[in-house]
């Protein structure tokens, strides 16, 4: 199943957003490697016939399957198989007494070595044959039946975990289908005649093609809902993880989850995250020799040899593909109060909205500990994130990690992320390409609603092929490093301050008379930029096809259908993206593209006519951070364009979209903009990484192939090719959007005097 697309921004809370539903069905694939600790105690009840069936029959076919108990409070006892090995010369009276008593569960605690050996065989063969069980029982000094019951219990536990989480996913998808069903019903009910404007009814007998398609989709959704209801009925929903002890069953389910996913119980998880906090504090505050400042670039570089000595790091890459280490540190002051900043990290949706250019997907997989309300002190949660760059040429990074929020003192907090090895063993190997060593930020409360943030980003990534344009900036660690996160955080916090401000100088807010109108325009511009970031990355949301234009540029093209999202035009949408290197500075390129007086030099839609700014709203101290409304007049008609320009210490963006004149005029007066359809295009600009040096000092040195520097420009255009969602993509549409990109690139190169030789 897919992920709920977040395109409509909140109207009440600036950070709030629709719930995110992420399908993680693959997370429990190959889950046989889970939870050595959970198998440390075995329960065997009844004779062999009631123990869950034979080895070949699986563990989930009978109701009386044995199950594992991972409670630490249960004392050691003899197993059933041990009793079978004892002499049975008891008196008849004893036998009579035993028959009167209820059948008891027999407990047997295996040793760590026995568990380790059985886990090793379980990874290779979850259903061992009799010969394998005999051999293992002799090796471990156990009875064959003990080995048999251990494997039955192990399979039962894995299946229970899978069913519990599949049930959760199905419930989320059911809610999504209900919402889509409701939206389609409303669309049909509001349908009206295109000629007379009167409402139509089902009795008319003359439905438009779009209405007929909506009814077909509605019928399919009803069938899917009924199917999901049937499936959900088979598996009662399980409890999610929690630190509270309000319900014993809930706590036991949580314990099963910990041991099933992490292979560790909660005390061990808490030990790991507390060690991660200690390491993060040292990494954030230490100076030389752990961190060395580069004379050439001014950036701090981690002395990895010193890091290994300081933290006694083991070689974690044994048995894994070759990995690279990226480490970086950055500090700065942000304009946001501490409670709200902490909340934005602990809420997955708010976190994604704070970093739209870096995070393409995010989900809180499970809450291990809710922490102390309302400040979330002590909260621990397992999270998944897909990290991107704003180009389809750089593969995304998918990472699972535990996030821990801890108050260090009255004015200092820590947000720490750390990957746990056991989680990787239970996830599809194709997803585990990146893991986090202790990373995160130390947040210090300052007067007047400010916070000082020290950000440490420490990643271990599997080496992969990266396009030559971005090889330097990715391999140096700048692409996903602390500088990128810190610059984005400062920019978003500054944007929020300007959004909430009530005393904006007149020179910073021209063309919009009211405060409500200013907020409505800024909200619309922010939604436009979020949509743009979502559309152009290498996320699995999109399927990119490579085409070559007539002028030789490599262009990536994808298409999607919008059925019911009011924030975008309904129909078939084509997105084309191309990334190039230009021998001009990022600042010069950004100023050229955002300047409305020079727009007719590159925008083929302006037909060379004059472009005027009718509104200009500042959203940051830098003059490049602004939202403008521009008008392009021609002999035939007039077109208005909404433009959002953003710049920070790492990257710059110019995002724009044509808007309906009547609609944007109502937004200027303060009306709600959430249902205004908008389809953004634009540019992203990065330095090409020439000034970068390796972010980790190691004993051996690698030769660098850096060339002359400049800017990495990504240009993206989106067009609506057909207003009917049922229409098919045509080659004419692809050629049209490719022509727009080719002509725009040619104009930019010509005006900046950087044409190809």
Compute the distance between CA of residue 153 and CA of residue 80 in angstroms, rounded to an integer: 14
Q: Which run of H or E residues covers position 546? A: strand 545-548
* Least confident stretch, 95-109, 487-501, 614-628, 715-729: 95-109
Residue 455 has pLDDT above 60, yes or no: yes
Give the 3-state secondary structure of residue 134: helix
Q: For 483, which DSSP code?
A: H
Q: Do 495 and 357 form a contact (C-beta atoms < 8 A)?
A: no
Q: What is the pLDDT of residue 487?
A: 94
pTM of the model: 0.65
pLDDT tens by residue, 128-170 = 888 888 888 888 888 888 888 888 888 888 888 888 888 888 8
Name which residue leads in pLDDT, 48 or 500: 500
Residue 415's pLDDT band (boundaries 50, 70, 90)?
very high
Residue 299 has pLDDT above 90, yes or no: no
Give the 3-state secondary structure of residue 467: coil
Q: For 568, which DSSP code?
A: S
Q: What is the pLDDT of residue 573?
A: 92
Torsion of CA 118, 120, 126, 131, to 10 degrees: -60
Q: What is the pLDDT of residue 466?
A: 85
Q: What is the pLDDT of residue 271?
A: 87
Q: What is the mean predicted confidence (pLDDT) over 385-405?
A: 91
Residue 599 has pLDDT above 80, yes or no: yes
pLDDT tens by residue, 261-279 = 455 677 888 888 999 999 9
% of the chain residues with pLDDT over 70: 69
Mean pLDDT score of the chain: 75
Residue 286 makes CB contacts below 8 A (sequence gap 6+) with none
Compute the distance between CA of residue 272 and CA of residue 404 in angstroms, rounded to an integer: 10
Residue 363 has pLDDT above 80, yes or no: yes
pLDDT tens by residue, 230-247 = 544 444 433 333 333 333
Q: What is the pLDDT of residue 97?
A: 54
Name which residue leads in pLDDT, 654 or 316: 654
Q: What is the pLDDT of residue 99?
A: 52
pLDDT tens by residue, 309-357 = 888 776 544 444 467 888 999 999 998 888 899 999 999 999 999 999 9
Q: What is the pLDDT of residue 247?
A: 37
Residue 690's pLDDT band (boundaries 50, 70, 90)?
low
Residue 283 makes CB contacts below 8 A (sequence gap 6+) with 290, 329, 438, 456, 458
Q: What is the pLDDT of residue 227?
A: 54
Residue 114 has pLDDT above 70, yes or no: yes
Q: What is the pLDDT of residue 112?
A: 85
When computed from its CA atoms, the radius of gyration of the chain, rounded to whole angstroms, is 30
Q: Do 386 and 352 form a contact (C-beta atoms < 8 A)?
A: no
Compute the distance between CA of residue 112 and CA of residue 44 in angstroms, rounded to an integer: 19
């Amino acid at each position: 199943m897919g992920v709920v697309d977040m395109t409509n921004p909140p109207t009440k809370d600036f950070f709030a957003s629709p719930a995110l539903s992420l399908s993680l069905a693959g997370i429990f694939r190959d889950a046989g490697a889970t939870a050595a600790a959970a198998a440390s105690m075995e329960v065997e009840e009844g004779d062999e016939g009631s123990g869950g069936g034979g080895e070949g029959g699986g563990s989930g076919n009978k109701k009386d399957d044995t199950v594992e108990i991972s409670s630490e409070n249960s004392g050691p006892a003899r197993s059933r198989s041990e009793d079978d090995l004892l002499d049975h010369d008891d008196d008849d009276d004893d036998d009579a007494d035993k028959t009167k008593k209820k059948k008891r569960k027999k407990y047997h605690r295996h040793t760590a070595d026995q568990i380790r050996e059985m886990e090793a065989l379980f990874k290779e063969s979850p259903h061992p044959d009799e010969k394998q069980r005999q051999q293992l029982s002799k090796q471990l000094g156990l009875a064959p039946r003990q080995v048999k019951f251990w494997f039955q219990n192990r399979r039962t536990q894995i299946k229970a975990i899978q069913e519990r989480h599949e049930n959760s996913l199905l419930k989320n998808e059911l809610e999504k289908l209900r919402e889509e069903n409701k939206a389609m019903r409303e669309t049909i009910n509001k349908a009206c005649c295109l000629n007379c404007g009167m409402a139509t009814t089902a009795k008319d007998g003359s439905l438009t093609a779009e209405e007929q398609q909506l009814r077909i989709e509605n019928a399919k959704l009803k069938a899917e809902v009924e199917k999901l209801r049937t499936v959900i009925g088979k598996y009662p929903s399980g409890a999610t993880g929690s630190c509270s002890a309000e319900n014993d069953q809930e706590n036991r389910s949580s314990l099963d989850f910990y041991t099933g996913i992490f292979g560790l119980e909660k005390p061990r998880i808490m030990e790991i995250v507390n060690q991660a906090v200690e390491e993060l504090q040292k990494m954030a505050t230490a100076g030389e020799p752990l961190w060395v400042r580069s004379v050439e670039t001014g950036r701090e570089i981690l002395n990895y040899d010193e890091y290994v000595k300081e933290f006694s790091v083991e070689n974690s890459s044994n048995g894994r593909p070759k990995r690279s280490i990226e480490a970086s540190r950055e500090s700065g002051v942000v304009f946001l109060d501490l409670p709200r900043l902490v909340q934005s990290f602990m809420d997955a949706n708010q976190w994604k909205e704070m970093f739209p250019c870096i995070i393409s997907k995010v989900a809180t997989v499970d809450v291990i500990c809710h922490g102390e309300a309302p400040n979330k002190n002590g909260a621990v949660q397992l999270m998944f994130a897909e990290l991107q760059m704003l180009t389809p040429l750089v593969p995304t990074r998918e990472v699972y990690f535990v996030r821990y929020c801890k108050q260090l003192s009255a004015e200092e907090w820590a947000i720490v992320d750390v990957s746990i090895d056991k989680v990787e063993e239970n996830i599809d190997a194709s997803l585990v390409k990146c893991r986090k060593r202790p990373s995160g930020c130390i947040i210090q409360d300052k007067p007047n609603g400010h916070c000082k943030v020290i950000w440490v980003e420490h990643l271990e990534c599997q080496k992969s092929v990266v396009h030559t344009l971005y090889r330097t900036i990715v391999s140096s660690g700048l692409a996903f490093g602390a500088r990128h996160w810190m610059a984005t955080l400062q920019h978003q916090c500054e944007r929020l301050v300007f959004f909430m401000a009530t005393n904006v100088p007149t020179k910073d807010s021209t063309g919009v008379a009211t405060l409500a109108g200013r907020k409505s325009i800024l909200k619309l511009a922010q939604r436009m930029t979020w949509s743009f970031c979502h559309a152009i990355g290498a996320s699995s949301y999109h399927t990119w096809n490579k085409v070559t234009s007539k002028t030789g540029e490599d262009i990536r093209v994808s298409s999607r259908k919008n059925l019911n999202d009011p924030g975008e035009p309904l129909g078939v949408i084509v997105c084309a993206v191309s990334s190039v290197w230009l021998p001009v500075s990022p600042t010069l390129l950004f100023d050229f593209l955002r300047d409305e007086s020079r727009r007719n030099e590159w925008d083929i839609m302006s037909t060379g006519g004059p472009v005027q700014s009718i509104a200009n709203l500042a959203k940051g101290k830098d003059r490049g951070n602004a939202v403008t409304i521009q008008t392009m007049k021609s002999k035939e008609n007039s077109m208005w364009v909404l433009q959002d320009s953003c710049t920070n210490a790492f990257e710059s963006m110019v995002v724009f979209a044509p808007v309906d004149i009547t609609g944007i005029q109502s937004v200027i007066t303060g009306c709600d903009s959430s249902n205004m359809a908008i389809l953004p295009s634009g540019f992203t600009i990065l330095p090409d990484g020439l000034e970068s040096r390796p972010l980790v000092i190691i004993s051996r040195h690698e030769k660098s192939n850096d060339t002359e520097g400049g800017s990495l420009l990504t240009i993206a255009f989106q067009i609506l090719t057909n207003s009917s969602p049922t229409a098919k993509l045509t080659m004419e549409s692809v050629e049209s959007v490719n022509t727009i990109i080719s002509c725009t690139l040619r104009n930019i190169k010509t005006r900046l005097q950087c044409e190809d030789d």
